[in-house]
Amino acid sequence: MTHVPSTSADRAPTRPQGARGEGASRPSESELKTKLRDAGLRPTVQRLSLCGLLFGNGDRHVSAEALHAEAREAGLRMSLSTVYNALNQFAGAGLLREIAVQGPRTYFHTRTSPHHHFMDESTGRMFDAVDGSVEFARLPAPPEGMEIVGCDVIIRLRKKKR
């Protein structure tokens, strides 16, 4: 007596489709390309990878040094001056807002609308003050032939003594 293996049609387990985790609001490469092109910049590989770091994590305030360190961590090989030049180009094209804090310390903000900042003086970390929480009572008259385009406040912070 031979056992004939029953060849009942295999029932493939049904898997729910489309159960992939829908990623956060990380912009795709084509979105970043469009962003660069719309700003009048050619989407080079370096610019694209820097944009990925800058615009993939919500609102950010970064210095060239910090972004350079991030790029290295992400395995991107580029010099600090390349990063610095790219940040300046992005700022010039309106993709970033540039704020010079103290001498060489320049911060680039992914949020380009006017807003004010707190800055921790011990670490240099900057973060946004709540919108509408700063009011100006008076500003000096601009020099002859000039007009005021904006006024950025940086509220400096330090740890309370005890």
Shortest CB 126 distance to Zn ion, Å: 7
User: Is the backbone of residue 144 left (phi > 0), alpha (psi -120 to 50) or beta?
Assistant: beta
Position 128 contacts Zn ion (CB under 5 A):
yes
Q: Which stretch binds Zn ion (CB under 5 A): 32-40, 75-83, 124-132, 152-160?
A: 124-132
Nearer to Zn ion, 23 or 58 (CB): 58
**Binders of Zn ion: how many residues, by CB under 5 A?**
2
Position 60 contacts Zn ion (CB under 5 A):
no
Q: Which stretch binds Zn ion (CB under 5 A): 26-34, 43-51, 82-90, 106-114?
A: 106-114
Nearer to Zn ion, 41 or 154 (CB): 154
Strands 117-120 and 126-128: antiparallel
Shortest CB 83 distance to Zn ion, Å: 19
CA distance 40 to 47: 12
Which letter does DSSP use for residue 13 in this model? P
CA distance 63 to 107: 5
Q: Which of 90, 96, 109, 119 binds Zn ion (CB under 5 A)?
A: 109
CA distance 151 to 153: 7
Burial of residue 39 (number of CB atoms within 10 Å: 0-12, 13-18, 19+)? middle
Judged by the rule CB under 5 A, the positions of this chain that interact with Zn ion are: 109, 128
